[in-house]
Amino acid sequence: MSNEAGPNTPAALARLVLSDRARDVVDGALRLVPTLDDGQRPPGDLLLEALRVRAQVDKLVTAAVLNAREPDTPRTTLADPRSTSRSRGSSAAYR
């Protein structure tokens, strides 16, 4: 998954943004794990937190698309990433 890019290239910056967005998703999701304070949460708080995570996932996907737009990435990969060998799992998982 390593981009052969120097530290100051657009590809390297795109990869760092992708990494940062992934960390935001994980941090947000981890806030939903503890159950000890459920009694102190206002109604709808878990839903609002889950919606925040969903918004963070949207930003992560955007960052992943930007990262994939490197000069050596075929446009067909960007059009349907499920059809490439670089995708994880089977394409049926995305349907």
pTM score: 0.67
Tell me the residue type at 6: G
Query: Does residue 45 sit within a domain?
Result: yes
pLDDT band of 94, cuts 50, 70, 90: very low
Q: Is residue 25 part of a domain?
A: yes
- Domain span at residue 28 reads 10-94
> What's the token pair of residue 67?
């990262």
Q: Is 5 contained in some domain?
A: no
For the chain, what is the domain count?
1
Using CA atoms, how far residue 82 sits from 22, 76, 77, 88, 89, in Å, is: 20, 10, 8, 8, 9
> Is 65 domain-assigned?
yes
pLDDT confidence of 76, banded at 50, 70, 90? low
pLDDT tens for 1-24 read 555 556 778 888 889 999 999 999
**Tokens representing 27?**
């941090």
Does the residue 89 lie in any domain?
yes
- In this structure, is residue 2 part of a structural domain? no
pLDDT digits (tens, 9 = 90+) for 24-57: 999 999 999 999 999 999 999 999 999 999 999 9
Q: Are 19 and 11 in contact (CB under 8 A)?
A: no
Q: How far is CA 12 from the centre of its chain?
A: 16
